[in-house]
Structure 1
Amino acid sequence: MFDKIRQLVFGSNNLVASRDINYYNPHPIRFYEKDIKEVIDCFSQEVVEIVGIVTECNDFYRPNIEEKNELNNLTHEYFEHIKSNSLIYFEKISEFLNDRRNEIFLSKYLTTARELNNKIVSNRTDFVYFDKIFDAVYSYIVEKDNYNICFDKELIWVFLHYMYWNCDIGVKYDKTS
């Protein structure tokens, strides 16, 4: 009797057939999220008012944003959300990251962006829309810290959107042309 209960609760330990192993992985995009949290935390403490809109990018390889959205399969609705909720922060983020006093944060930002972009490329087929990549990364950052983040969690979205807008994550050009 005890063996049947144990088998129901713990399975039959049939490891060869992998029937009793649960491989559920809610976050296919994992990365060292502490650096970007530190950058966002410092940014949130230093910047009191956030104004200004970035209208141009100096990246020679950056496509126009509509082309980038198409290449990355970002929905029009999500892009409109980025424009209405995050775009106003981008100039201040650029100023913050390019300030000589924040070189360590720029380094952490760039390291995170490269690592995250590599993870996105590796797992891109798991996501039809880039919108879902934003959601997976945001959830990973917040859940990894058990929701104990000491700054406004909205800034995580803003920084992820900034990374995308700035072409630090996502496809920049059509590799088939």
Structure 2
Amino acid sequence: MKYAYEDMSDEQFERLVVIICQHIMGISTQGFAKGPDGGRDAKFIGTAELFPSRSSPWVGTTIIQAKHTNGYNRNCSESDFYNKEKKTNPNTVIGAELLRIKKLKDKGELDNYVLFTNRRLTGNAESEICKTISDYIEVDIASVKIIDINQIELYLKRYPEIMRIADLDPIDSPLIVSPDDLAEVIQAFANQARTLDRSLTNINIERTTYARKNQLNNMTEAYANELKRRYLKDVNEIESFLSLAENTALRERYELAAEEFCLNIIAKRKDYQTFDHIMNYLSKLLVDREPILRQAKHKRLVNVMLFFMYWSCDIGENEDAKTQ
């Protein structure tokens, strides 16, 4: 059975990894905990039962890392995971890990290192990444492993009880939205933007005042001001675009996206302290899940469109018209 790993939360994926490790290393595998370096590691100390194999098990302190993405069909060769030109780039998954686990090795707190990810890993990428890690932290390459989504699937087939033990309740899943409708709108808007009227000012939108909306949604003043400074100038252009008769179908796609976002935000609102976090999370999720939105010319428009939804009161809590 294939599981939608991209719809899991980071915590759910970590729980799954720990249970897998309890099966292949030993029941004494310690769960993920935040260390003094800020990283979240799981750990196994001793001789592994079956990992990497029964005949040649790892011995000593094994640091276990889980790197989860909500993106579709992501792989370990992508530049946000590993940059072969700038191996220690802290903005990549592997680069950030190298800097952190080298300190653990230098303090004698790491003998072996395994990273689980729900990305896909090719043979060439596996050997290159493992060699980079082993060279940098100065351990034998046999003491470094990357476990990708395909290997995770094999473990779940071999140990079907793992998913039952993990008890991954969908209600604990993160805020998930589909990027499809919004991606089509953004792509079309990017193509038409230069021909649109930026001076349209007489748009009659029934909306809660921006200041009041920010209070209702717990958006911080600094974040709200920065959104307004960067993206308010684009609002009229988007409204002009969506109002064109020839864009009726795109307007419908926008409304479908806004409705989905709104309802899912309401359902998961308690999981996010401020609306700042929701906006940032949605922006990253949409870019991660849709290749069109990862294009440089579209990335900014993701934030523009999310601001437009918020400004137009299509997402986020609004003042009840009857109480005004």
Query: In structure 1, what is the equivalent of residue 111 of structure 2?
Result: none
In the alignment, structure 2 segments of 5+ residues that lack a partner are 1-23, 26-48, 58-151
Partner amino acid for 2:284? Answer: S
Q: Give the match's secondary structure for 1:31.
A: coil
The CA distance in 2 between the partners of 1:89 and 1:96, in whole Å, is: 11
Match of 1:5 among 50, 58, 83: 50
Q: Given that residues 213 and 318 in structure 2 are in contact (C-alpha distance below 8 angstroms), is that contact kept between their aligned partners in structure 1?
A: yes
Query: Per-residue CA shift, 1:136-156, capped at 9, x if unaligned?
Result: 111111111257634330010
Q: Given that residues 183 and 293 in structure 2 are in contact (C-alpha distance below 8 angstroms), is that contact kept between their aligned partners in structure 1?
A: no
The CA distance in 2 between the partners of 1:58 and 1:16, in whole Å, is: 48
The CA distance in 2 between the partners of 1:117 and 1:127, in whole Å, is: 14
Query: In structure 2, what is the equivalent of residue 93 of structure 1?
Result: 238
Q: Give the match's secondary structure for 1:86.
A: helix
Query: In structure 1, what is the equivalent of residue 165 of structure 2?
Result: 18
Name segments (4+ residues, structure 1) moved above 2 Å: 6-19, 49-58, 145-152
Q: Given that residues 53 and 89 in structure 1 are in contact (C-alpha distance below 8 angstroms), is that contact kept between their aligned partners in structure 2?
A: no
Query: Per-residue CA shift, 1:77-133, capped at 9, x if unaligned?
Result: 111111111000000000000000100110000010001100000000001100111
Query: In structure 1, what is the equivalent of residue 271 of structure 2?
Result: 126
Give how far 1:158 is off: 0.4
Match of 2:186 among 24, 40, 45: 40
Q: Given that residues 54 and 87 in structure 1 are in contact (C-alpha distance below 8 angstroms), is that contact kept between their aligned partners in structure 2?
A: no
- TM-score normalised over the length of structure 1: 0.81
The CA distance in 1 between the partners of 2:277 and 2:266, in whole Å, is: 14
Distance 1:105 1:147, change over 3 A: closer
Work out whether 1:139 is the aligned partner of 2:295.
no
Q: How many residues align?
A: 172
Match of 2:311 among 162, 165, 169: 165
The CA distance in 1 between the partners of 2:185 and 2:292, in whole Å, is: 17
Identity over aligned residues, as a percent? 25
Larger-gyration structure (1/2): 2
Distance 1:95 1:16, change over 3 A: closer
Give how far 1:63 is off: 1.9
The CA distance in 2 between the partners of 1:127 and 1:76, in whole Å, is: 17
Give how far 1:32 is off: 2.1
Q: Given that residues 182 and 254 in structure 2 are in contact (C-alpha distance below 8 angstroms), is that contact kept between their aligned partners in structure 1?
A: yes
Partner amino acid for 1:114? Answer: E
Partner amino acid for 1:138? Answer: S
Q: Give the match's secondary structure for 2:165.
A: coil
- TM-score normalised over the length of structure 2: 0.46
Task: Tell me whether 153-162 or 142-151 shows the greater mean CA deviation.
Answer: 142-151
The CA distance in 2 between the partners of 1:43 and 1:156, in whole Å, is: 11
Partner amino acid for 1:159? Answer: M
Give how far 1:18 is off: 2.7
In the alignment, structure 1 segments of 5+ residues that lack a partner are none
Higher RCO by CA contacts (8 Å cutoff, separation 6 or greater): 1
Match of 2:257 among 87, 95, 112: 112
